[in-house]
Structure 1
Amino acid sequence: MTIGPDTIVDIARGWVGTPYRHQAARRGAGTDCLGLVRGVWREAIGSEPETPPAYSMDWSEPQGQERLWHAAADHLREQAQVTEGLAAGDVILFRMRSGAVAKHLGIVSAVGALPTFVHAYEKYGVVESPLSRPFQRRIVARFKFPLEVF
């Protein structure tokens, strides 16, 4: 069975309004950006491939380790082009500050003249935001869910 990108977007949009809760991953109850991707995975694909270890808000920044990037690459399909070819349903990874580790995730919900993405934002919970130029410049990696489900 194949799950399409529109299904991924519909599931992600279903999380809009979920409050922000660090390390959580429950629609309606609370989530962070990783929890959103984990929750969409569960709804679209099934059981998560692994349970993430406890993590701090700094996402291994003091050590300079790209833990989130490596974990995403282990379970999602990394795309060669980072911003070219963005498609609905893509998981995007952001480096929010120059020289910092990449530590924010979102799911592309619309492309074209007015692209948007769904993400969990600390003060706002899960929202659908414009994928503005400042956000686009911060994208460091792009992934696709493994949509073949047997």
Structure 2
Amino acid sequence: MGDHNNSGEAWMGIGARVLAVAEGWVGTPYRHQASEKGVGADCLGLIRGIWRELYGQEPEAVPPYGADWAERSGEERLLAAAARHFQGVAGLAEADAGDVLVFRFRPQHAAKHLGILLEGGQFLHAYEQAAVIRSALVPSWQRRVVGVFRFPEM
């Protein structure tokens, strides 16, 4: 499976590979339900696109979803999908750069935002009405982290 990666990345661990791929998404405009580097992505689309670049195809089809799906359904779809396809990490204190962060904005609603942990106290995410950007993982973001997951080794 590793043969389709850039030859210089053969020695890299999964976190370094995720970071190398994720960097190419910076500046991609925010587009709800999109997942195409340079064209458009939402937070799920960013993770889906990184997955495709690493492994070739997505592990499952994503059904259409409205902007208010988490408030309306109450189902923990992001956490459940992350648990199916990624390795769980005990928490933010155990997280490494390249890990996926799952955020819950309101206690009574399902988790609905994703990002990639970067070095230096930052994370990468598709920010609504903006683009794929780096943001500081300040305490207000840290409090919202409800799951940390690692991409599977290649």
TM > 0.5 between the two? yes
Counterpart pick for 1:146 among 140, 145, 152: 152
TM-score, length-scaled by structure 1: 0.90
Query: Deviation string for 1:25-63 (max 9, x for gaps)?
Result: 000000000000000011112211111000111133223
Aligned mates of 1:59, 1:89 — CA distance in 2:
26
- Greater helix proportion: 2
| AA of the residue aligned to 1:73 | A
Structure 1 partner of 2:101: 92
Query: Residue 15 of structure 1 contacts residue 27 of structure 1 at CA under 8 Å; is this kept in 2?
Result: yes
Structure 1 partner of 2:113: 104
Structure 1 partner of 2:74: 64
Q: Are residues 1:77 and 2:100 paired?
A: no
Counterpart pick for 1:54 among 41, 54, 64: 64
Question: Where does structure 1 lack aligned partners over 5 or more consecutive residues?
Answer: none
Identity rate, percent: 49
Counterpart pick for 1:132 among 117, 138, 146: 138
Aligned mates of 1:49, 1:96 — CA distance in 2:
26
| AA of the residue aligned to 2:151 | F
Query: Residue 117 of structure 1 contacts residue 129 of structure 1 at CA under 8 Å; is this kept in 2?
Result: yes
